[in-house]
Structure 1
Amino acid sequence: MLDTLLPILIAASLALAVIGAWRRVRLWRQGRSAPVDLLKGLAAMPRRYLVDLHHVVARDKVMSNTHVATAGGFVAAAVLMVLVHGLGLAQGVLGWALLAASATMFAGSCFVARRRRNPPARLSKGPWMRLPKSLMAFSLSIFAITLPAVGLLPEDFGSWILALALCTVLVWGLGEMVFGMTWGGPMKHAFAGALHLAFHRRAERFSTKGGEGNRSTGLKALNLDDRDAPLGVETPSDFTWNQLLGFDACVQCGRCEAVCPAFAAGQPLNPKKLIQDMVVGMAGGSDAHYAGSPYPGKPVGEHEGSADGPIVAREGKALVDADTLWSCTTCRACVEECPMMIEHVDAIVDMRRFLTLEHGNTPNKGAEVLDNLIATDNPGGFDPGARMHWAADLELPLMRDLQQAEVLLWLGDGAYDMRNQRTLRSLVKVLRAADVDFAVLGDEERDSGDVARRLGDEATFQSLAKRNIATLSKYRFKRIVTCDPHSFHVLGNEYGELGGDYEVRHHSTFIAELYDAGRLHFKPWKGGSVTYHDPCYLGRYNGEFEAPRNVLRALGIEVAEMERSGFRSRCCGGGGGAPITDIPGKQRIPDMRMGDVRETGAELVAVGCPQCTAMLEGVVDASAEVRDIAELVADALIAAPASTGERSQTQEAQAAEVL
């Protein structure tokens, strides 16, 4: 009886899965076109799954092993099931391989069941709670019906009642594993996720044969010359089709939720819920069936939409409230943690672009800041001619006078801030101590455009960027050095698309290179304990974690690391225009970060970003002093030891490499 029923069940489930897959593809294809290489993407998918995706999953060793056993067992069992029971090819090793695959899958499902017994708050519940039972039903039924096929049980073992029972359990398992994979069940992430890896909008994020991928964190430019192109994203169908595919790949694990600073602060943002709302909009409906954590302060069931309806409505129900989008600090913690490699920040900025460019709906001081950028080329609205007033006594060399220099020192808009001027003066002292040939643009420098772009004003960003590029093109220099990670990121990663390709160094990296080349000498550190705060735009955005620590070690400082440091560093709350839009929550993000500092017992927190400095120094009753790395280095400078004589040829070669 099984010989008759099994091929029918397998063929029916596969046919329904194909129909569901076509239906799912049609939902994704509602989005705008996006260039992808179909064959190259499909060929790269196995490596991207086994290497890049599992590199993220492996941060949790238990779940990594669970996923390997469960997912690997399922894929192998599904393929072998078709061969053994669908096509009757049980001879040889195929039947035994199917037994091994289904047993491996069952072992993995036991760990899934254990995790779901008392799941962490970040995991979505609802249909996901039945997943362990479905995994077990599929693996056990496949194992049981394969035993006679390999001769471990008589072929006529049992009665028709047992056969029907086994088929019933198999139908349950097939329904969830195969049918649900394309019709919207918990296993949907397996089908959508595999294709998402193949057709990812940032293919450069993935490793390549013989090398590694890059971080690919620069926002993609809008084509402002194309009058038919949408200015940002108004409806779900305004996303590209592979962005919609990426949203559909979400496994609702909540890793993004667990690291989101806005969610932790009680602001109305949960990146997992946001992605699920985009899925709801793509398919049409409401969020009433969402079974995870809501946006803080916003109950589930209040949002609904459709593929061609507005994501943010001016009145009535919509998919997302505007303050959800403006809560994001663009820190990319969600993207860094996502095992499906979904690009949350890209989506948020795309939606912000529409609100800003089409409606002018930038909250609180957003509109004022953007007006200032247009009128004065800086967000504070200061007189452009006052950019160099802080350095009147320093006699800084100007590019317009020299025409060329080894290093162009990019000041950033911290030049208008009295606190950051101390950092800039310290950096100038360090450069001069190392005898660096540098110059500044002076009054010719404009805002890099970072704030405008993150607030969604792509037009102002491109205007600022193109004018800066035109200015820079007049002069010759080897590299740009800046103490602002936001300018560092924009100049190095986002100007290239507009024609400006530069080698850019953060000042901590450059100082580390100067020290390694023997051009800086420090007196021993005699201060108290120190911790280091990783700026998001230096660390997660650009992968620079070691250079600042190397500088601190060169000063004789043993860093007391915070629990959340490195790629998991907590945001200070200063990025993405968040201090400007100022969406209220239950607590402030910088207060939480200074709480992390307090737990280390450190007396001083070293930083490498003017925005981090401003946010952390703004904490009331802070337990630690906040100082930029350049300030610490400047205070520790001593002249080169006279007894060393001339530098060795090796040191000269190292210095030449730096400059």
Structure 2
Amino acid sequence: MLNTILPLLLFAALGLAVLGALKRFFMWRRGRPAKVEWLGGLLAMPRRYLVDLHHVVERDKYMSRTHVATAGGFVLAALLAIAVHGFGLHNRILGFALLAATLLMFGGALFVAKRRRNPPARLSKGPWMRLPKSLLMFSASFFIATLPVAGILPQGFGGWLLAAVLALGVAWGVGELFLGMSWGGPMKHAFAGALHLAWHRRSERFSRKDGGGGRSTGLKALDLDDPTAPLGVEKPSDFTWNQLLGFDACVQCGKCEAMCPAFAAGQPLNPKKLIQDMVIGLAGGNDARFAGSPYPGKPLGEHGGGPHQPIVALQGKALVDADTLWSCTTCRACVEECPMMIEHVDAIVDMRRHLTLEKGATPNKGAELLDNLIATDNPGGFAPGGRLNWAADLDLPLFSEKRQADVLFWVGDGAFDMRNQRTLRAFVKILKAAQVDFAVLGLEERDSGDVARRLGDEAVFQQLARRNIATLGQYRFQRIVSCDPHSFHVLRNEYGALGGHYRVLHHSTFIEELLRGGQLQLGRHPLSRERGGKVTYHDPCYLGRYNGEYQAPRQVLAAIGIEVREMQRSGFRSRCCGGGGGAPITDIPGKQRIPDMRMADIKETAAELVAVGCPQCTLMLEGVVEPRPQVKDIAELVAEALLEPAATPARQPARRELAQVQ
């Protein structure tokens, strides 16, 4: 009886799954065209899944091993079940192989069930709660049905009643796992996720051969010369089709939610729900059945839309409220944590572009800032002629006079802020102490355009970028160094699309290079570990997650005798200060401030000082009400440890200290 029923069930489920896959593919294709390597992507997909994706999944050892057992066992069991029970290849070796695969899958499913008994708040529930039962039913049914094939039990054992029970179990299992991959349900992520890896919007994320994944963090440029191209994303169908595919791959694990600073602060953003809202918009419907955490302060069931309807309505309800988009600090914590490698920040900025460029709906002081950039080339609206007032007594070399230098020091808009002028002066002191051949653009420098681009004003960004590129093209230099990770990132990763290709370094990386070269003579800082100093270090998002620089700042601090007391959330899991993405400008209220949360992280280390490497981080953390630890830039700390040339003939202490941390 089973020999008749099982092939019918398997091939019926496979046929319906193929129909569902076609339906789903055409649903994704509602999006705009995108260039992908069709065959090359499919051929690369297994490696991207087994290496690059699991490089992220492996951070959670429990789920990594669970996923290997469950997913690996299912793939093997499904293929062998089709061969053995579908095509009737009743071979004992194949039978034992299928038994082993189902046992592996069953073991993994038990751990899935254990995880779901008391799931963390970040995990979506609803249909996901039935997945462990379906996995267990699939593996158990096929295990028992395969025992006669392996010769362990006689053919036809148990009679028609057992055969009927097993047939029901197989129907349940293949219905959830086969049909669910293409028609919808928890297993949808397996089908969409595999194709998402094959045709990912940022295929360069998989470019490194060492298995660690590449790094691609620069925003994609809009073609402002194409009158047919939409200015940002108004409706789901304005996304590229492979972006829509990426949204559909979401496994709803909530790791992005757990890391999002805006969600933790009670602002109306949950990156997991945002991605699910895009899926709802793709298929049509509302969010009433969403089984995870809602946006803080926004109940479920009040938002909905369709593929050709606006995502954001300035009046009334749509898929998403505007303040959800403006809550994002663009810190990329969500992207860094996502095991499916979904690009949340790209989607948010794409939708912001429509609101800014088409609707002129940048909130709070956003419109004023953009007007200032147009009128004065800086976001604060300061008179451009004051850009070098902070250095009136420093006799800075100018490119307009020198024409060439080894280093172009990109000052940034910290030049107009009295607090960050101290950082700039400290770094100039370091450059001069190391006898670096450098110069500045002076009054020729304009804002890098970072904040304009994050607020969605691609036109202002490209205008500023092209003018800066034209200015830089007049002079000869080897590299650009900046104390501002935001300017550093834009110059390094986003000017290239507009023709500006440069070697750009953050000042911490450059100082570390000077130390390795023995060009700086440093003593021990007053807060060195020998003197009982307690210092922690805050990783800026645009230096760490965006550009992968975590070690250089710590090596520099070690070279002046400072031992870093690491925060629980440091490195690639560092909590954002709240200053990126124009968040201080749009100023969406929440239950608490993000910098206050970060200062709480700092206080847990009992540090008396927090070292930073970003002017935005300095301003946000110093804006926390005292009492709190001091905040100083790495350049300030190094400048305080500089020795006069005659004070010591040897450079070995700093170099030896540096070697110890490498």
Q: Is it true that 1:594 corresponds to 2:599 in the alignment? A: yes
Structure 2 SS opposite 1:587: coil
- Counterpart code for 2:69: A
Q: Is it true that 1:560 corresponds to 2:565 in the alignment? A: yes
Residue 394 of structure 2 corresponds to which residue in structure 1? Answer: 394
Query: Which piece of structure 1 moves more, 555-564 or 90-99?
Result: 90-99
Shift of 1:587: 0.1
Alpha carbons 1:412, 1:482 under 8 Å: kept: yes
Shift of 1:521: 1.6
Offset from partner CA, 1:289-331 (integer Å, 9 cap, x none): 1000000000111110000000001222200000000000000
Tell me the distance in 1 between the aligned counterparts of 2:362 and 2:303.
21
Instruction: For structure 2, list consecutive stretches of 5 or more residues without a partner in the other structure.
Output: 528-532
> What pairs with 1:350-369 in structure 2 (closer than 5 Å)?
350-369=350-369
Residue 66 of structure 2 corresponds to which residue in structure 1? Answer: 66
- Counterpart code for 1:80: L
Is the alpha carbon distance of 1:272 and 1:622 closer, same or farther for their aligned partners in structure 2, counting shifts above 3 Å?
A: farther
Shift of 1:525: 2.4
Alpha carbons 1:52, 1:207 under 8 Å: kept: no
Offset from partner CA, 1:499-557 (integer Å, 9 cap, x none): 00000000000000101111112111222200000000000000000000000000101
Shift of 1:139: 0.5
Alpha carbons 2:412, 2:484 under 8 Å: kept: yes
Residue 657 of structure 1 corresponds to which residue in structure 2? Answer: none
Q: Is it true that 1:288 corresponds to 2:293 in the alignment? A: no
> What pairs with 1:43-82 in structure 2 (closer than 5 Å)?
43-82=43-82
Structure 2 SS opposite 1:574: coil
Structure 1 SS opposite 2:288: coil
- Counterpart code for 1:285: G
Structure 2 SS opposite 1:626: strand
Alpha carbons 1:48, 1:207 under 8 Å: kept: no
Structure 2 SS opposite 1:93: helix
**CA root-mean-square deviation:** 1.3
Alpha carbons 1:520, 1:640 under 8 Å: kept: no
Alpha carbons 2:92, 2:149 under 8 Å: kept: no
Tell me the distance in 1 between the aligned counterparts of 2:650 and 2:171.
83
- Counterpart code for 2:636: E
> What pairs with 1:54-453 in structure 2 (closer than 5 Å)?
54-209=54-209, 213-453=213-453
Residue 544 of structure 1 corresponds to which residue in structure 2? Answer: 549
- Counterpart code for 2:573: R
Tell me the distance in 2 between the aligned counterparts of 1:645 and 1:395.
29
Residue 480 of structure 2 corresponds to which residue in structure 1? Answer: 480
Tell me the distance in 2 between the aligned counterparts of 1:261 and 1:616.
15
Shift of 1:622: 4.1
- Counterpart code for 2:276: Q
- Counterpart code for 2:318: A
Q: Is it true that 1:603 corresponds to 2:608 in the alignment? A: yes
Alpha carbons 1:594, 1:622 under 8 Å: kept: no
Structure 1 SS opposite 2:289: coil
Tell me the distance in 1 between the aligned counterparts of 2:468 and 2:294.
42
Shift of 1:625: 0.2
Shift of 1:181: 1.1
- Counterpart code for 1:621: E
Tell me the distance in 1 between the aligned counterparts of 2:219 and 2:651.
47
Tell me the distance in 2 between the aligned counterparts of 1:265 and 1:644.
52
Q: Is it true that 1:634 corresponds to 2:635 in the alignment? A: no
Tell me the distance in 1 between the aligned counterparts of 2:351 and 2:650.
60
Structure 1 residue runs of 4+, over 6 Å off? none
Tell me the distance in 2 between the aligned counterparts of 1:76 and 1:546.
42
Aligned with residue 580 of structure 1, among 585, 599, 614: 585
Tell me the distance in 1 between the aligned counterparts of 2:211 and 2:343.
23
Residue 530 of structure 2 corresponds to which residue in structure 1? Answer: none
Q: Is it true that 1:615 corresponds to 2:630 in the alignment? A: no
Q: What is the aligned length?
A: 649
- Counterpart code for 1:554: A
Alpha carbons 1:485, 1:609 under 8 Å: kept: yes
Tell me the distance in 2 between the aligned counterparts of 1:645 and 1:10.
77
Alpha carbons 2:489, 2:543 under 8 Å: kept: yes
- Counterpart code for 2:290: Y
Residue 495 of structure 1 corresponds to which residue in structure 2? Answer: 495
Shift of 1:643: 6.9
Shift of 1:89: 1.4
Tell me the distance in 1 between the aligned counterparts of 2:160 and 2:492.
69
Structure 2 SS opposite 1:150: coil
Tell me the distance in 1 between the aligned counterparts of 2:625 and 2:347.
34
Query: Which piece of structure 1 moves more, 586-595 or 206-215?
Result: 206-215
Tell me the distance in 2 between the aligned counterparts of 1:281 and 1:294.
16
Alpha carbons 1:122, 1:293 under 8 Å: kept: yes
Is the alpha carbon distance of 1:645 and 1:83 closer, same or farther for their aligned partners in structure 2, counting shifts above 3 Å?
A: closer
Shift of 1:570: 0.1
- TM-score of the pair, normalised by structure 2: 0.97
Tell me the distance in 1 between the aligned counterparts of 2:651 and 2:520.
14
Residue 455 of structure 2 corresponds to which residue in structure 1? Answer: 455
Tell me the distance in 1 between the aligned counterparts of 2:74 and 2:490.
44
Shift of 1:219: 0.1
Tell me the distance in 1 between the aligned counterparts of 2:650 and 2:547.
38
| % identity of equivalent residues | 74
Shift of 1:645: 7.8
Tell me the distance in 1 between the aligned counterparts of 2:633 and 2:647.
29
Tell me the distance in 1 between the aligned counterparts of 2:610 and 2:650.
36
Shift of 1:211: 6.8
Tell me the distance in 2 between the aligned counterparts of 1:211 and 1:56.
11
- Counterpart code for 2:285: G
Alpha carbons 1:70, 1:104 under 8 Å: kept: yes
Shift of 1:95: 1.4
Tell me the distance in 1 between the aligned counterparts of 2:209 and 2:408.
36
Is the alpha carbon distance of 1:646 and 1:129 closer, same or farther for their aligned partners in structure 2, counting shifts above 3 Å?
A: closer
Tell me the distance in 2 between the aligned counterparts of 1:341 and 1:431.
40
Shift of 1:228: 0.1
- Counterpart code for 1:174: V
Residue 515 of structure 2 corresponds to which residue in structure 1? Answer: 515
Instruction: For structure 1, list consecutive stretches of 5 or more residues without a partner in the other structure.
Output: 655-659
Is the alpha carbon distance of 1:420 and 1:174 closer, same or farther for their aligned partners in structure 2, counting shifts above 3 Å?
A: same
Tell me the distance in 1 between the aligned counterparts of 2:546 and 2:191.
29
Alpha carbons 1:17, 1:179 under 8 Å: kept: yes
Q: Is it true that 1:569 corresponds to 2:574 in the alignment? A: yes
Alpha carbons 2:535, 2:609 under 8 Å: kept: yes
Residue 2 of structure 1 corresponds to which residue in structure 2? Answer: 2
